[in-house]
Structure formats: C-alpha cells, structure tokens
Structure 1
Amino acid sequence: MNARVSNTITSEKICHTTCPYCGVGCGVEVTVNETTDGKKALSKLEGNRQHPANFGQLCVKGSNLLETNDLSNRLLHPSIDGKRASWPDAYQHIADKLSTIIKEHGPDAVAFYVSGQLLTEDYYVVNKLAKGYLGTANVDTNSRLCMSSAVSAYKRAFGEDIVPCDYQDLENTDLLVLIGSNAAWTHPILFQRMEKAKKLNPSMKIVHVDPRANATTSLADLHLAIKPGSDAYLFNGLLAYIADNNALDNSFIETHTDGFNDALACATLSVEEVAQLCDVPIDNIRTFYSLFVSSPRAISFYSMGINQSNSGVDKANSIINCHLASGKIGKEGSGPFSITGQPNAMGGREVGGLANMLAAHMDIENPKHREKVKNYWQSPTIATNGGLKAVDLFDAIENGKVKAVWIMATNPLVSMPNRNKIERALAKAELVVVSDVVEKNDTLAFADVKLPATAWSEKDGTVTNSERRVSRQQGLLIPPGEAKHDWQIISEFAQTMGFNEGFNFSHPSEVYAEHAGLSGHDNHDERYFNISAHQHISKHQYNTLRPFRWPLTGDDTKDNARVFSDGKFYTDNGRAKFMPILPRLPEQATSDAFPFVLNTGRLRDQWHTMTRTGKAGKLTQHIAESCLYINANDADALGVIEGEAVYLSSQVSEAPQICLPVKIDNKLREKTCFAPIHWNQTFASSASIARLFTDARDPLSGQPELKHAAIQITKVPALTHIQVIQSKLDALDLTHHFDHWQKIVRDDVDCIRALMTQEKVTANSLINKIVCDYSALDCQVFSRITDDLSVVVLTKDDIVKTVIVLSNTVIEIEQDWLAQQVYKQLDDVDLGTLLRGIPDESFTLGRQVCSCFNVREKTIVEAISNGCSSVSALGDALQCGTNCGSCKSELAELVQTHTTDIPIKLVPTLTATVADREDVV
C-alpha cells in the first residue's frame, strides 16, 4: 500500500532512483512529500523518461512499487536468539562467536552468503572485510544461481567478465536469437523494445530457442522447441554450418582469435544429426542456421535456460564460438548478450562478489592481483585461494567445515537446490546471522541473530545493469525503526572486530570512491573494468550522478558503449579464445522412476520469493497460485484434470513435500512440465520446488542445474477442496487445519485455497473447527451444507468477515466475487445466492490478463470476436496493454489464437538461404 500523507505537505520533491527487480535497471521517478511533522512519504511513481535503460517505461512490477512499500512484516530491530537486542550487543555477540571460531578452526570456518539485491557499496564492504581482513574467500552470492556460468564463459573467451552488447543493439540487429529466455515476462521492458524494433524494421527476424512455448514465442518468426538440455548440440551444429557454408570471417579469426581449429574439430554435427539430438524438425534447424549466416548482424540473447545447467559454461561458449567464427561481435547489432536476472548481479561481480573473484575484476588465484588489492586496501591479510561456491558452501556447513554463515538479502531455503540439505546445514551451524528487511521468511526461521536492513525506498548507493550501466539508487525515506544500510552494518561490525582504519565510512559516496580508485589502481589497460574517473567523487557529485557505462577513466565523459570493435580482448595475448565444446546432457536424467522433466522460472507479476510482490493484491491476480503446468496428454495418462492436485517427488525429495494443482498447457512438450520458483512457506505449505533439485551443477561455474529436474508425478487423493476468503483486519491463521494450502494476498482480504487428503473430513467437522477459531470474535454463522458443495458465511456486527467454500470435487467459485462480499453489510448481500455459490455473470470473466486495468480473458476474447484483430485495437477498446505493456505478449497470443482458431505458430513459414547474401566471405 502507498505510504499515506497524514499532515500538511510542506514540500514536494521529485527524486530519481532505479527499480529493484530485474537486471534491466530501469530508471524510476518518485515524488517525495515532506509533511509538517518532518516525515516523508512517497505519493507518486513513474518511469524516468531520461533514463537510457527504459525511457520512462515500467513493467507491472515496477509500476506497483509503492503498493509494496508498507512496513508489514518489516524487521525493525536486532535480535539474538529471538530476544530484542541493541546494535552494539548484536555486533559484539557476532564478533565474539566469529573470533572464537576463527581462533579454533581458521578463517575458512566463516562464510558470507549475499545477494544481487545488495547495492554495489554493500557488496564492496562485505568482500573487503572477508577477503582482506578476516582472510576468507568464502563470500558467495545468489548471483551464483543466476549469472556465474555466463561470467565463466566470458572470462574463458574474452579474458574478463565483459558483456559486449547494449540495449540499442537489440533494436539495430537483423537477427535476434532468444535462447532460454522468456523475456516477455522476465525482462518485459527489453521485450517491448524488441517489439518496437520489429515493427520499425519488419525484415528483422526473431528466433526463440526454448523447450517451452511461452509469452515470448508470440514475437518469434521461428520457435525451436528443442529437447531440454540440448543447446550445445544446436550451437555446435551452427558452428559447423558456418564453416561448411563459406560464412567464416577468416580475417577476424586469423587476426584476433586462438583455438578455432580445436573448437571446429568438436563441432562435426550435420544438420540431420542436430535435428535428431535436439528433437526438432530438420527444416526448422536449416532455417535457423541459414538465417544466422545470411544476416549481416545477429544478437544471441540468452538467460537462465543456458546458465542454470550442469554445462552452462560450455553452452554459453558454444554460442560465443559462433559469433567469433562469423565475426558477429564488436559491432552494432551483433554479439553474445547474456541478460542478468537480478538488479545488481553485475555490480556484485565488479567488486568480487563471487567466491572465486577479487574486487575490480581481479582474480584471487593470481598472486599479482592479490598483492595489488592488499596494497590498495592496506589490509592485514588477503585470501589466497578461491572460496566455496554456493552449493559447496552449504555442503561445508552441513559437514561442519564451515561453522558460521552470515546471510544477507537472500532466502536460500527457497532459491537453492536440495532444500532439505539446506535446512539440515543451517540447523547444524554454530552461528547463523541473517540481515534482511523482513521479519519472517523460510531462512529467518534458522537465524540466531537477525539484523534489520534497509529496503528499496531507503537504500542509497549504485547498481549496474545488464549493459554495464551504473545508476544511482537514491535513499528516498528515512530507515524505519533501527534498520541500517548493509554497508553500514558491515562497517560498524568490522570496527567492533577491531578493524577501524579500513571501515570508517560515513556515506556510501566514500565507499564508491574507494571502489572506483581500486578499479584504476595499477591498471595499465589490463582490465577493461575501470571507473577511476570517479575515485575523487564528492558527495554532491555522487548524489547527482547520472547513468553511465563503464569503462570511465581520466577525464572521460562519453558513454562507452562499443566493446571489442578494435579486436582487442583481455586475455594474456589480447586474442579471443574459441572453446572446444563436447556437449553433455543434464545430470538429473529421467528414468522409469522419475519420467518427467521439471523446468522452472519466473512469472510475469512476481519476483523471487515474493517479499515485495506478494504484498500487492494487483500483482497476485494475474496468476494467483503456484501450479504445475503440464501437457494434456500427460495429464490424461496421470488421470488428472485441470485444478486437481498432484504430488511431485525426486530422488532428493519424496512426496508429499510438494503438492501443486495442475494447469493444462499444450505448448509444453510431452513429459516436460513447468512450475514457478516464487512460492515458499509464507505463501504455501507445499510449493517450494527447490526441494526437488539435486546438487547437480556446472563444474567450472558452480551454477546449479535449476532448469532440469527428473521427477515423478502422482495424483493426490484429495477428499475436500477448500476456499477461504477472509477480512484482512480480522484474519485468523486457519492453515493448521489443512493438509496442503496456498495463500493469496489481496488488497483488503486474504484468500486460502486448501486440500484435505489424509482422511475423510466431513464438511461439518471441518467447519466446526474453523468456527471454533472464530468464536472469540463473536461471529454469527450462516451455512448451507450439501454433499457436493458447502458454503459458510461468518459475520460480525452484521458485516461479512469470512466466506468458506468446501467441495469434494474441483469447484472453484470466482474469487473476485467472493472477495467483494467481504466487508459488505449483511443487508446488502444476497445471502441465498452466496450460500449457493452462484456468482454474478460479470464475475465469470476468466483469468486476469491486464493487471493495470483488470481486463480479463473472456472480455478480451469477446473483443477479438467483435473485430479487434490487433493488440493496439484491444488497447483502444479495453485499455489493456496501454500502461506498463507487460500483458502485450499475452494479448498478441490471444489475438493469434482467436482470429485463426489454431494454436500459436510454431513452425516457420519464412525461408532464408546463404545465397540471400552477396557479401558472404
């Protein structure tokens, strides 16, 4: 909910900051009001039209930031063992514990697990403390789960973690290949730029490589629904095709690269073999390959579908190989473009946020780099070996090698694979410290010390987006309670440990200036990352810093966009490296016991573990609950219909730990299913799918294989289906009555969907238990109980407080209609209709598609049948798609489906051949 202004406004100021969600790094403009009592409140939010990442556009999540900014579930005070403590006492408690552990077991018995949600200044101070003062490299981050394979691939090919593309390249290319990315939902502002580019340049072609047809596929000319995990075969085949069809850039290869012959020797696949290995029609493979070689410019835009793999580094290098071989790199509209998942994953990489890195893009295994960093910091020590990567870190906690862990701004119980192991590890640790903004989440349940950190509207520092653009995230509000900035917490703790000289920062500008200075320290153009132009930045200059792209050195003021245009790379000899790739299939292979492949990902309106987005009722209506998306043929074989629940199990998680309702999706391959990542024990009893994934990971990057789990699916013997809609003001926790449940938070009511499975529960017996809970509220009960459908209405002072629906089959009464009955005066309710569960016709309009204007599917379909044959026409008629634009891909899909009565186009009609090009080398 918005922070409300309760006193007279004395001043109004517009502040520029950044969105805290994905790696696009959108600029945000916020109106801050100050009142007569000196308090500040945020009254308006919109996109910053001057910011080069988004030019004023915001997706539905960014547009609703103010709706998630209230203090509900905020952690406001430090605590030790569940008891409130002062900051000095908390620091001293941690210092005493860590000092004892380090004395008895060495510094590597201590670890930090941090987050791409941190600002660069926060990240920098943590790494300085751990690696330069405590002497441990055990600092890893949830970016390990997101970008580490892309980082390793860039370093192998280019010598440094350098993303060689920018957002304008997406608009100035001839061929855009989207690989393992549902950009329409995960990076919607970039997707809208792609849509606009295609409208302005109809000859531009888009290929979508993904096992699952999704919202992004609606923009594609060609969809390659490859077999899960077969990406490296596809791109090894492309490399061979480039060589076989006279499309090599021989001059570039000979002058600027090494290792081509070895890479080509591993890429001997024919088009026919690729089609078989990827399980894609051969004509589709030929079309893609022909498009790539015939297009003067090509962008390969890849994301978690590539990175989250046991061979993610090799997959990324197989893509990079194709760009090096064809010379499609270092020029406008061309290059391998890895897109970041989190808002500051790249900023974290700049300051050494991964366990195998030092700050300023230096390597921990390089003695000269270690000496440079130690000298610059004037630190008492420096870590000499790479630390433990995320999966290995929690292994080490479980086996007792690591005794203490400090977790910052992340929820590893929900995001890490093999949740059961993470639970065992944290339960065994001698000390678990958690710095977070929330009072309760899955990980905080294991914390010995809880420290309140600042949230988006209070945090003050910088972030770096996916195109290497640094932007300011401004502190808009005074931190509530006793919350402190993460850089401030670590700095004050370091001084408690006796490290006074290195951590006497009083403002984030001082941290940033030191970070900038290190980037240029003894850097004789050996590292591309360099922002030393800011090493003497003043507080005023920092507060007014405009977005810029690195590198930025000396007196440079230009926006440094183009990388590798001179053919210079940052390897030992300045030449890019081809990598020989031997494709590997996923480690979590299917079997007779576990015959289904589980794919995972984000939804359009939710973010990570829903700490913010779960608060906004508008963001929970597009997709209200976690589901298992499955092909209709598979559902038939399992004997389940849409809405019925299934148990999911794997070799590391037996049923019934995961229980999800089924959603039919015929765009999925058979034996392949999909579930979202967001749900956790705050919002559901049995939907944390991290339990299903093993520790399978890439041997180089350590990134877990989170796109491919082998699972078993069995039908749940659901005996009673329950819906509860209750007033948020009087909401009681009823979840202990149910075997499985999911909670949907709306603006004024809480909704629960639940199942009873273990025993036959009569409607009367369950209703009696629930009514008993409400007895203290002195509620009046109205009910209609039948064998098929029972409805109970609880009122207090003649106002409806709760509606409960029970059925022994899948009968879902429209939630919007039920929610509207709550808070009504009893005289204004048609009690007979309500008890029969018969909603008004206006409420049976299907799922919400447009969150901004609450436009539902049936309304859209009716408009299409009445002649709205385009997204723009639907916008004119219904407003849908005219605000944030996040729903435009779904609108396009509905238009295509309901104007042709056929599914989305998956087989291309376009053709392209090498002969189309006159400039083939």
Structure 2
Amino acid sequence: MTCTTCPYCGVGCGVIATPGDESAPNRLRIEGDPDHPANQGRLCVKGAALAETVGLEGRLLRPLMRDDDGQAQTVSWDRALDRVATDMRRIIDQHGPEAVAFYVSGQLLTEDYYVVNKLVKGWLGTANIDTNSRLCMSSAVAGHKRAFGEDLVGGNYQDLEEADLVVLVGSNTAWCHPIVYQRLMQSRRERPEKRIVVVDPRRTATCEQADMHLPVKAGSDVWLFNGLLTYLEEHGVVDTGFVANHTGGAAEALAVARADGGRLEAVAKACGVPVAQLQAFYALFARTRKVVTVFSQGVNQSSSGTDKVNSIINCHLFTGRLGEPGMGPFSITGQPNAMGGREVGGLANTLAAHLELDEPAHRQLVQEFWGSPSIAREPGLKAVDLFDAVHDGRIKALWVMATNPVVSLPDADRVREALRRCELVVVSDLFADTDTAAEARVVLPALGWGEKDGTVTNSERCLSRQKAFLPSPGEAKPDWWAVSEVARRLGFEGFGFEQPHQIFDEHARLSAWRNDDDGMRRAFHIGGLAGLDAEGYDRLRPCQWPVPQAGEHTPRLFQDRRFFHGDGKARLVPTAPRAPVNAVDDEFPLVLNTGRIRDQWHTMTRTGRAPRLASHLPEPFVEMHPYEAMLCGVQDGALVRVASRWGAMVARLRCTADQPRRTVFVPIHWNDQRASDARVGALVNPVVDPLSGEPEFKHTPVMVSPFPVDWHGVVYSRSPLQFEGSEAPAYWVCIQGDGFLRYELAGRGRLEEPHQWSRSLLGFEQQPQWLEVGEDSAGDYRAAALAEGRLLACAYLSPRAELPSRSWLNRLFGKERVSEADVVGLKLGRSVDPADDVGATVCSCFSVGRNTILDAIRDNGLTSVEGVGRCVSAGTNCGSCQPEIRALIEEARLAEGA
C-alpha cells in the first residue's frame, strides 16, 4: 500500500495504491486517501480509473532515434544522450544559447522541473524555457504578482466550505475539479443558507445547483467586476482602514472602472445580462462578507486574462475580504503541478524560488546559490512566441517534456510545421505515438505515474509526495535523470543528483536562501523541509507552504495584512475593459470556446486508454444552440465541419439550449491517434494576453457547415485498425473498450464491396467463422467474426446513421462465449432482449447507463438523485453525473405527464 497523489487536475487528491499480490500481480487497487487534506478520501472518476491507465501497451521502453528520412530505430541511452548533447553543443557554438529552447509541463514533478530550469537558466544562460501551464494559469500568475507582489494563492479549500457566498467565474467546477465541487456541495447541504453564483457564458453542469447563473457574454468579465467595484464604492461597502493602510491604487482603479461605464445599465448591456439579475448579484456580494471568488480557465485563457484576474482581486482588496477564513480570490489550476512549476521558475519570465528574472539582485542571488557559470539575463520566449521562433528558424534545438503541443497549442498545424523545420527535436514521453513525438528526432522513454518519485503542489499550496509503487518499465528513466545526463555531457557541474530527495533538498534550501534580506523577502519558503534524507523524504506528509520551520505549515496567507511589494502593500490595478482581438464577421460569424469534458484529460494520451473514461462522451463533438444550427443548415447528431482562419476539424453536432446563441463549444482532448480530424487546437487563434502570454482559447471566430457523408458504420476489433489511402473513411474515431477497440466511421461514395472492405480492414479475409448478412434492401451490411464462440470483431455499415446499440455490443465483447440468442442478435443488428441495451453511459464510476437509470426512475417512482443512487449506485461517488441524473428525472416526469 502506497500513499501518493493523483496526476490529473490541480486539486491534488491523495491516492492509496495497492498493487496486486502474486496471484493477481496486475490487479492494482486505487482508493482515495482519507488522510489527505485535499480530498479526504474522495476520488473523481478519472482518479478512480487510474489503474486502467498504467498498462504497458504502447509504452516507449527504449530510446528512439529517427534519421533524415524519418526511419526510426531503438538505441541505447548513451547513444541517444550523446546525440542530444552533441547536437545541442554544435547549435550553441554556432548560433548561441538563444537557439536552444525547452517546452515542459505542469505534469512534471517539481524535482524534474527544478533540474531542467537549473540547466537552462543557470548553465545554458538562456530563459527560453516555457511550460504548457502558460496555456492555463499564466494570467493568474501575472495578476497575482501585480496585486500582491508575488504569485500567491492566499486561501485554501476549507475557505470554500466556510464561505457564505462562493462565486465561480469561468469554471465548470463540477466537471473539471469534481472533488472541490463535492466539498462545496457538502458544505451547502450542511448550511443551506450558503449561496453559490456561477458566472459563465455556458450553462454547464456546475450551474445545476447554483442559486444564480450569470450567462455573461464571452470576454465581458472586466466589465462585470469593474461594475461591481463601482457598486461597492457607491454603496459604501469598503474597508477604508484596510484600503488606506494596506493597499495602493484604489483611486486609480475606481477612476478607470467609472470611466468605462460602471453604471448598472451600461454593465448589463456590455455583459448581456438583465439589469435586475446583475443588481441582485452585486447586492448579494455587497452584503456578504465571507465571499470566495473562484476563477479558472474561463478567466485566464483570454487576451485580457490578466486584467480579468485583477478586476476580481480588486473587489476583494477594496472590501478587505481576504486573509481570513471563508474569503478571498482563489485561482484553481488545471494541472497537477502547475503550482510546483511556478515555485521553481518554470515560466520563461521567472526564476526559481519565486525570484524575478528581470531583477539583477534576484539573478545574482540564484547564480550565487547555484554556483553557475552564467544566468539568464532577460525573459525568454513564452509558449506561442517560442514555437513561432522554432518555425522561423531562430530556435534550432527544442526539447519537449511531458506535453503534446501539436494538439494543445493554438494554431496547432503551424506548431507541427515548426517541429518539422527544426534541426533537433527531442521529446520525453511515455509513448512514441503522440502527435508531437511523431515529429521528434530523439524520443526518450520517461517514467509515468506510479513509477516516478517526487513532489507536486496543488492549487491551495499543498505540497504532496508522488511515490513510485510500480517497477520502472523497460529502460524508462526519470526526466531529471535524463536532463542531468545531458548536462554532464555538456561539461556542466552541479548535476550530480542520484536521488530525487537530493533535488528537493536543494530546492528547499534555495527557497530559504537570503529570504529575510531587504528586497528578497518572499512568501514562498520551504526551508523547514530542507535536510530531509531519503527516509524523511519518503515520510513527508502533505503540508501547505510557507514552511519556514520544520513542523510548521501555513493554511492561509495575508492574515498579517502584509504583502510582497516593496512597501508591504497590495495593489488595486486599473483594468480598462477591451474586446477580444479577433471579432466575428460574415465569413466567421460564431465564437468558438474550448474546454474540458468530465471524463477526459488533456490530449487523451493517458485517459484515452481507460475504457471507463471513454464511455461517457466517446466522440469529438461541437455544442451549438438549436437556432444557430438551423441558420447554419446543420442537424443534431450529424457530422459538421468547424473552420477558422487557422484550421478546421470535423465533429458530431450536439444541439443544446445550454449553449449561448452565436457561440459554439468544442472539447480540447482528441488527437490524431484517436480521431481522423478533431484537433481543435488547429482552429484556435494564436492571439495572447500581452502581459501573461496566455492564448485566447475562449474566443476564436469560426464557421460551421455540414460535413456530408454517404454511409455510416461502427466496427469493433480486438486489435488496432489501420486506415490507409483511398480505403480510409472520411471520418473515424477510435474508442477504447474493455478488451476491444470501437471505431465510429462515416464515408463518402458507395462502398462497392462492403464484405471485402470489412474483411480486409479487420484482417479476416480467410476467417472461417465469419457471420455475414450482407447488404439488405435498405443497403445495410452486417457481419461478425467468432472463434470458439468468442466474438473477435464485427462491422455494421448503413446509409443511415441508425446503427446497433453500442452498450449492447460492448457487453457482447465482454463475454467469453456468446449465446445462440446473441448470434441471432448479431445477425439482426439488435439484441433479442431489450434489457441488454443499458444505454449511453451516464455514471462512469459505476458504468450505469441512461436506460438503466430511466427504468429505475419509472419502476420505483424515484424523484431524487439520492433515490437513484440508492437504487443503482449512479451519482454516489464523485457526483459529476448528478446533473444528468436530475435531467433524466425531469425527463421521466414530463413523459409521465404527457
């Protein structure tokens, strides 16, 4: 049994992992850690399904090198590292250190992050290292530094429970941070007077239990909170003593808020909400002292993201609502170690230990501590600019670690082209088949979750251990080891680390180094954790920094009313509203908003391998208001093409009134290994916030048009299929099942010989047990392959979109031997027993389908989510499916009334 930490979102949940015994060595058991302060034993479905993602299928187990023709071969670590170091040295000698760059990840452990930043900024002498955390929380970093003088999240999750009002801004917390949401919901059940407000253009699952939903126009957050600031001033809701003694800039911030139409009517028009609703929100905020405002990607991912962050913080500073239980602004991060990366200077414009790259004294401090030959003297290139520099040849060597920018960055097709132009591309990853690794000259096998050792820091500054409990597969190595080996080959000292606790110790000592000196004081301080040996490091329990002395930790900052600007005061920052850079027009009349879905993570390289996680929303989709769909000439459930000035994709349309007019929503997760053409990053405009460098993921002008096809299909196989040349369908999606792969297909033109096409695709040209109905009068084709009664594959093709129940077919593939009735059903294309069709998955935690829930509601007269949970278990674990269960209860009620 090993206590470790979940590798997904920034909630940072504790996990207990228990590997199987000798009788079942592959049976890993995953449970929530009841002693971890973040989750107190709860796990969301992604965390609960971690055991399904640690298999070695598809893992890269030895270093890989490609020649100029793209031919790959496995090589020894020595040969791969020699190649990296030799090419890097040649490029530096010819073009200088600025020709080398690193792009890293919030999924690295802090120790990995520390070593690579030490190499780049302290030995190579460049700051051309940035992180995919730039894409999700760099606006929060910039806003915190402007307001507080340091990148600080002052509160904790307990504050959300103690608050009387929680405002969720640009955060679908129910889906993206389910455990925080469940803690919030539990506190509301215990205190029904607690109020929850959601500010979001979309009506998401988070809105279902909110007391108020403000569906503001995308990009109007600064208008909203400037209006709130003006309202608070006009109604005398100001902590005058706090503002006078502990802040600066209030007059200037108020002047800008008033100048830009702070009156209710003007704000309501700018935000697209009724005056009465806006006034109700402002009045609720004004009369409630214990307020926490939670903000996430909906705020940060904007060309004005930093100003949005500061407009929120301004309202808390103006009222003195921070530093006490149940109040304060709260940035909740998307990645497991976004905070840890910030601590070690993971961004191109920062230094380790919360020191500033543009401060000469800070640079000198770090260089002295490291004893390094040089130190980066100016900020490096932020993510989007960094890949532009790769594209135009200024950067000639790039090392990418634990991230997939060909999928996740904006203007992603240009990113792919940049990698193809680059002299040396090195990728450290678990898999060799990611979109990014496919473009690398050298691919290094990294350790994954359960195999690597280190620390992570979550959204509430809680530092936790992530521990190894699985053996290192093949020749995979820690990322810090690979970086250290290259540093040694480059002739650099200071990288003699042998164990991760040695790196952590150096990191802790740097945080304390001259921390009390004038001009050097900073909140980030974990000096109390310095000096841990391997055993002490292994015993380290979760704690919130600052940790200036052993045994101490700090649940809440700002209680002493001291901040980290030179005068010890916080700053209210003037934030003038501005519209998104790229406006819609007649050619691209809709606004694209991107984001996460409930059961997937980032680019699906890990969660896409878990059958449980693939079952809820298995295909890429675009959500659109029904009226907008009518104007675009597209129908619910049909395939559509979404295009911008930068790229295009194909997905299935989901019409919903929860999506605002004139907008569309597309998830970020699908990659080229899982779908034919579903990388939404290819569409996203590359405009960034001028301060933070964070891209505008929430506002890209697009058009939506029909994607006509002539036939539809679903194919199941026990092994991966290859679609090549003219035989490839126009659309395909690969979905992981339990022991099988499911492919949703659609094509153009008539399949002249569907039986031959299916047999060739599945590799069963000579298969004797091939059940084939062939084409009937309607043009439907049905076939299946069996061996000794076990279903190996099946194919259903039709000119119509009506195809067999996927939940029924999924269950057939789970059987060791199908029955005679099943064989009849396979020939008919439907089960002979309607009860076999449990419907699309609603509750992934317990694999409960839509039909099962509806039957339970009707048969038992259920009227509550709790009743459904008692009957079929749905909604009783992470709770993310509860809004869908409520909708089914309402659907059943309306059907009964009809």
Q: TM-score range by the shorter chain?
A: over 0.9
Question: Cα gap change, 1:820/1:574 in structure 2, threshold over 3 Å: closer, same or farther?
Answer: same
Does 2:524 align with 1:540? no
| Alignment map for 1:34-433 (pairs within 5 Å) | 35=22, 43-81=28-66, 82-268=72-258, 269-433=262-426
The answer on whether the counterparts of 2:758 and 2:795 sit within 8 Å (CA) in structure 1 is no
Deviation digits for residues 807-833 of structure 1, max 9, x if unmatched?
222213211212334466576255454
The alpha carbon displacement at 1:35 in A equals 4.8
Q: Secondary structure at the match of 1:360?
A: helix
The answer on whether the counterparts of 2:623 and 2:654 sit within 8 Å (CA) in structure 1 is yes
Q: Which one of 468, 480, 493 corresponds to residue 461 of structure 2? A: 468
CA distance in 2, matches of 1:875, 1:442: 40
Does 2:767 align with 1:778? yes
Amino acid at match of 1:625: E
Q: 1:20 matched to which residue of 2?
A: 7
| Uncovered stretches (5+) of structure 1, i.e. residues with no partner | 1-13, 903-921
CA distance in 2, matches of 1:535, 1:447: 38
The alpha carbon displacement at 1:781 in A equals 4.8
Question: Cα gap change, 1:181/1:897 in structure 2, threshold over 3 Å: closer, same or farther?
Answer: farther
Report how many aligned residue pairs link the two structures.
Answer: 877
Q: Which one of 819, 843, 856 corresponds to residue 850 of structure 1? A: 843
The alpha carbon displacement at 1:884 in A equals 3.4
The answer on whether the counterparts of 1:177 and 1:298 sit within 8 Å (CA) in structure 2 is yes
Amino acid at match of 1:537: L
Q: Which one of 570, 576, 596 corresponds to residue 576 of structure 1? A: 570
The answer on whether the counterparts of 2:767 and 2:785 sit within 8 Å (CA) in structure 1 is no
The alpha carbon displacement at 1:88 in A equals 1.1
CA distance in 1, matches of 2:895, 2:824: 40
The answer on whether the counterparts of 2:408 and 2:668 sit within 8 Å (CA) in structure 1 is yes
Amino acid at match of 1:578: L
CA distance in 2, matches of 1:888, 1:213: 15
- For the aligned residue pairs, the C-alpha RMSD in angstroms reads 1.8
CA distance in 2, matches of 1:890, 1:468: 33
Does 2:591 align with 1:597? yes
CA distance in 2, matches of 1:900, 1:837: 31
The alpha carbon displacement at 1:732 in A equals 3.4
The alpha carbon displacement at 1:42 in A equals 5.8
Q: Which moved more, 1:877-886 or 1:306-315?
A: 877-886
The answer on whether the counterparts of 2:687 and 2:696 sit within 8 Å (CA) in structure 1 is yes
Question: Cα gap change, 1:62/1:288 in structure 2, threshold over 3 Å: closer, same or farther?
Answer: same
CA distance in 1, matches of 2:891, 2:827: 37
Q: 1:659 matched to which residue of 2?
A: 650
CA distance in 2, matches of 1:453, 1:516: 25
The alpha carbon displacement at 1:896 in A equals 5.5
Q: 1:682 matched to which residue of 2?
A: 673
Q: 2:791 matched to which residue of 1?
A: 800
The alpha carbon displacement at 1:853 in A equals 2.2
Q: Which one of 560, 563, 576 corresponds to residue 557 of structure 2? A: 563
CA distance in 1, matches of 2:534, 2:423: 40
Q: 1:918 matched to which residue of 2?
A: none
The answer on whether the counterparts of 2:790 and 2:816 sit within 8 Å (CA) in structure 1 is yes
Deviation digits for residues 869-900 of structure 1, max 9, x if unmatched?
22212111111122333323433444466557
The alpha carbon displacement at 1:222 in A equals 0.3
Q: Which one of 716, 722, 735 corresponds to residue 733 of structure 1? A: 722
TM-score by length of 1: 0.93
CA distance in 1, matches of 2:570, 2:33: 38
TM-score by length of 2: 0.95
Q: Secondary structure at the match of 2:390?
A: helix
CA distance in 1, matches of 2:242, 2:675: 54
The alpha carbon displacement at 1:219 in A equals 1.6
Deviation digits for residues 703-749 of structure 1, max 9, x if unmatched?
00111211111001111111111224xx4324652111111110121
The alpha carbon displacement at 1:240 in A equals 0.6
The answer on whether the counterparts of 2:854 and 2:892 sit within 8 Å (CA) in structure 1 is yes
Q: Secondary structure at the match of 1:125?
A: helix
The alpha carbon displacement at 1:776 in A equals 5.0
The answer on whether the counterparts of 1:218 and 1:893 sit within 8 Å (CA) in structure 2 is no
CA distance in 2, matches of 1:882, 1:313: 38
CA distance in 1, matches of 2:46, 2:280: 36
Q: Which moved more, 1:421-430 or 1:798-807?
A: 798-807
Does 2:688 align with 1:703? no
Does 2:505 align with 1:513? yes
The alpha carbon displacement at 1:765 in A equals 2.6
The answer on whether the counterparts of 2:413 and 2:682 sit within 8 Å (CA) in structure 1 is yes
Deviation digits for residues 115-157 of structure 1, max 9, x if unmatched?
0000000000000000001111011000000110000000000
Q: 2:879 matched to which residue of 1?
A: 885
Q: Secondary structure at the match of 1:502?
A: coil
Q: Which one of 744, 751, 768 corresponds to residue 756 of structure 2? A: 768
Q: 1:9 matched to which residue of 2?
A: none
Question: Cα gap change, 1:506/1:673 in structure 2, threshold over 3 Å: closer, same or farther?
Answer: same
Q: Which moved more, 1:510-519 or 1:640-649?
A: 640-649
Q: 1:810 matched to which residue of 2?
A: 801
Amino acid at match of 1:701: S
CA distance in 2, matches of 1:233, 1:804: 54
The answer on whether the counterparts of 2:390 and 2:421 sit within 8 Å (CA) in structure 1 is yes
The answer on whether the counterparts of 2:783 and 2:826 sit within 8 Å (CA) in structure 1 is no
Q: Which moved more, 1:883-892 or 1:714-723?
A: 883-892
CA distance in 1, matches of 2:31, 2:288: 38
CA distance in 2, matches of 1:725, 1:145: 36
Question: Cα gap change, 1:552/1:798 in structure 2, threshold over 3 Å: closer, same or farther?
Answer: closer
CA distance in 1, matches of 2:812, 2:838: 17
Q: Secondary structure at the match of 1:266?
A: helix
The alpha carbon displacement at 1:498 in A equals 1.2
CA distance in 1, matches of 2:889, 2:759: 47
Q: 1:717 matched to which residue of 2?
A: 708
Deviation digits for residues 463-506 of structure 1, max 9, x if unmatched?
0000000000011122110000011111112111111x300011
Q: 1:4 matched to which residue of 2?
A: none
CA distance in 2, matches of 1:767, 1:714: 32
CA distance in 1, matches of 2:556, 2:894: 43
Amino acid at match of 1:816: S
Question: Cα gap change, 1:826/1:168 in structure 2, threshold over 3 Å: closer, same or farther?
Answer: closer
Q: Which moved more, 1:524-533 or 1:406-415?
A: 524-533
Q: 2:862 matched to which residue of 1?
A: 868
Amino acid at match of 2:759: V
CA distance in 1, matches of 2:828, 2:73: 49
